[in-house]
Structure 1
Amino acid sequence: MDDEARAATRHCYRVLEPIHSMIYFAPEAEQAYLEAGLDKGGRLAYFASRAAALGPVGAGVVAATFYNFNPELVGKHIPRAWTLASPADLVSARADAAGTALRRLLGEQLASSDALAELAELARQAAQGAEPDGRPLFAAHADLDWPTDPVVVLWHAATLLREYRGDGHIASLLNHGIAGLPALVTHTATGKGFLPEIARKLRGWSQEEWDSAQARLREEGIVDHDGALTERGVAMRERIEGETDAASSAPWSRLGADKTNRVRELAKELSRAVVAAGAYPSGLFASQR
């Protein structure tokens, strides 16, 4: 994979990610899940809504496919969630909420624009160029019916491409022998994700568990005594990201360079609007999206 193709693949992920991940912070989503039957939002709603495409699976499947959450935390909410709301109802509630939230964040002018409709179609073509082999979260979402509303089409396509990349990323982490918690620790050490303390709490790990993972990584020469990545750690994370790019490139290769560049151009503008409209709470991330 050449540098230009790798850069295009990673850039497409970055500019489409806000269009997908705003759903995890949108008040419209939490309200929709409550109306579907869940008795609270937060991590119960997150696990249930994101896993709903898989059907009424157990905690082990959710922990395995989500990868860096403490399995004990997952077990507090799954499979209990399926006694409160059906996966099918949550899939529908999530898509409806995504459309409502994106329209609010983008404003009606952008939400009904030709640019959004064009991006939705291009992102759909890219997502339909992805194969499900070995990618359980992507495959589950790819089995869902395509919506008809262009705003929701765009969100669904961004979701598919995000889960496709995520499944490939987990494969790379496994290849490097990096389990869920060490993966989270090293990711926060790059300074490009959640702040470490927020990541630890959101993913359900105790301070003792976090410190123990850091100690093991320190023994392996991946982080230093301050928790920062060593030269070896930086090289490892760069290899993992490169492998993730390579594993995520097929949709964009099939879409072609011209259309891929058009996705980058259109999604950049829309994602900026989503972020500027306050899609994310302040103070969560080590760097801006």
Structure 2
Amino acid sequence: MSDAKAAELAAKCHRALDPLHSLVYFAPEADEKLAGIGLKPGRMSYFASRSAPMGPVGAGVVTATFYNFNPDLVARHIPKAWGLASPETILATRLEVADAALRRLLGDAVDSHEVAEAAELAREATAGCTPEGRPLYSAHAELDWPEQPHLALWHAITLLREFRGDGHIAALTTHDVDGLSALITHSATGRGFTEAAAKATRGWSDEQWSAGVERLREQGILDDDGELTAEGVALRERVEAATDAAATAPFTHLGEEKCLRLREIGKTLSRTVVGAGAFPATVFGK
């Protein structure tokens, strides 16, 4: 498989599979179960559950590895969360969240042959991942594999997602795009968070956002209407191309035929969870 083909498959498989992982951040089960062990619903639960594989790290580590969150927002919840629940307890609870949410959203399909097949394929793909320069992936990769196929699939997709995410941060830093600029330019593409959702979920004030927009205008990345200029579009394309290229290893390892099959099953399952209301309609879209 050529490098270009592998990069294309990496992007397509990510889009097909990612909803099956990211639904845990929106599922009502997350706030319910994580609040049950002492965490505050919302941002604290998100920061703590996603960073827990790294252990009781400080706010700086979470800010660095999550990248586009306001550091002040992270510092309000980390390391406070570790005094409320241990990383081990949080991880066990997060798996309970994934189990409950997937069972609710997939219904009878959760125990299907297709889920088991996808779990095997996704796990095989993760064997192609390497730890160098991938802190969030590496921390998650040290966790035990769940036995149930739907949870093994969720864990495998989590590994693939964090592997890609670590590579994406490397691409952003290489292209001198800081966290707020990454968020603003992604929102400007119309394929990410709305501006309002980006500010609310990432903790940036109107003033900070406006200052970030002004800097990007001065750099020629945004125009006077806050839209991407030709230079801005090219920048985002370079970042995404670098991200895809850095994410190819697991899909090269899996091979084209198996990648296409994994994508096929993933698309069907993702459509099912999206159709069942896994994500709030107000979050995405311009």
Q: TM-score, normalised by structure 2?
A: 0.98
Q: Within 5 Å, give how 1:160-179 maps onto structure 2.
A: 160-179=159-178
User: 2:212 matched to 1:213?
Assistant: yes
Report what 2:123 is aligned to. 124
Give, in angstroms, the shift of residue 282 of structure 1: 1.3
SS at the partner of 1:187?
Answer: helix
Report what 2:53 is aligned to. 53
Matches of 2:245 and 2:4, distance apart in 1:
10
Matches of 1:140 and 1:278, distance apart in 2:
30
Compare 48-57 and 1-10 and name the one that shifted more.
Answer: 1-10
Report what 1:17 is aligned to. 18
Amino acid at match of 1:94: R
Matches of 1:27 and 1:188, distance apart in 2:
25
Give, in angstroms, the shift of residue 268 of structure 1: 0.6
User: 2:262 matched to 1:268?
Assistant: no
Amino acid at match of 2:35: L
Matches of 1:178 and 1:117, distance apart in 2:
39
- Tell me, yes or no, if the aligned pair for 1:23 and 1:29 is still in contact at 8 Å: yes
- Tell me, yes or no, if the aligned pair for 2:16 and 2:266 is still in contact at 8 Å: yes
Matches of 1:85 and 1:160, distance apart in 2:
23
SS at the partner of 1:134?
Answer: coil
- The CA deviation string for residues 170-192 of structure 1, in whole angstroms up to 9 with x for no partner, is 00000011110001000100111
- Tell me, yes or no, if the aligned pair for 1:126 and 1:255 is still in contact at 8 Å: yes
Amino acid at match of 2:111: S
Matches of 1:35 and 1:23, distance apart in 2:
16
Give, in angstroms, the shift of residue 202 of structure 1: 1.1
Report what 1:28 is aligned to. 29
Matches of 1:152 and 1:96, distance apart in 2:
9
Matches of 1:42 and 1:237, distance apart in 2:
29
Report what 1:249 is aligned to. 248
Give, in angstroms, the shift of residue 29 of structure 1: 1.6
Matches of 1:46 and 1:138, distance apart in 2:
16
Aligned-residue RMSD, C-alpha: 1.0
Report what 1:149 is aligned to. 148
Amino acid at match of 1:241: E
- Tell me, yes or no, if the aligned pair for 2:127 and 2:253 is still in contact at 8 Å: no
Give, in angstroms, the shift of residue 128 of structure 1: 2.2
Report what 1:190 is aligned to. 189
Give, in angstroms, the shift of residue 31 of structure 1: 1.5
- The CA deviation string for residues 7-38 of structure 1, in whole angstroms up to 9 with x for no partner, is 21101000111000000011112111112221
Give, in angstroms, the shift of residue 2 of structure 1: 4.4
Q: Which runs of 4+ in 1 moved over 4 A?
A: none
What residue ranges of structure 2 are gaps of 5+ in the alignment? none
What residue ranges of structure 1 are gaps of 5+ in the alignment? none
SS at the partner of 2:78?
Answer: coil
Give, in angstroms, the shift of residue 263 of structure 1: 0.6
Matches of 1:225 and 1:86, distance apart in 2:
47
Matches of 2:188 and 2:237, distance apart in 1:
13
Q: TM-score, normalised by structure 1?
A: 0.97
Matches of 1:2 and 1:221, distance apart in 2:
31
Give, in angstroms, the shift of residue 198 of structure 1: 1.1
How many correspondences in the alignment? 285
Give, in angstroms, the shift of residue 273 of structure 1: 0.2
Percentage identity across aligned positions? 56
